[in-house]
C-alpha cells in the first residue's frame, strides 16, 4: 500500500478552517477558550484538534 500525501495551500486551509468552525457553531476564539477550560464535548474537541493541525500546517503553531 502506497501512502497518499495531500498538499494544502493557504486557501484550502482557510476553507477547511471555516468549514470546521461552521460545524462547531463557534468562533475560533470561543472554541479555543472552551478547550482551555475543558468545556468541549468529544466532537468539538475533535474540531479543535483539527484546527490546531491546520494551524501547524500553515505555520502558525
CA distance 28 to 17: 9
Q: Where are the domains of the chain?
A: 30-61
> Which tens digits make up the pLDDT trace of 2-32?
998 888 899 999 999 999 999 999 999 999 9
> Which tens digits make up the pLDDT trace of 26-46?
999 999 999 999 999 999 999
CA distance 15 to 7: 14
CB atoms within 10 A of CB 46: 14
In this predicted model, which residue has the larger pLDDT, 58 or 47?
47
Amino acid at each position: 500500500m502506497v501512502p497518499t500525501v495531500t498538499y494544502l495551500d493557504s486557501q484550502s486551509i482557510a476553507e477547511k478552517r471555516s468549514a470546521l468552525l461552521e460545524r462547531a457553531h463557534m468562533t475560533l476564539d470561543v472554541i479555543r477558550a472552551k478547550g482551555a477550560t475543558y468545556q468541549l464535548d468529544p466532537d468539538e474537541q475533535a474540531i479543535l484538534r483539527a484546527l490546531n493541525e491546520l494551524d501547524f500546517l500553515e505555520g502558525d503553531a
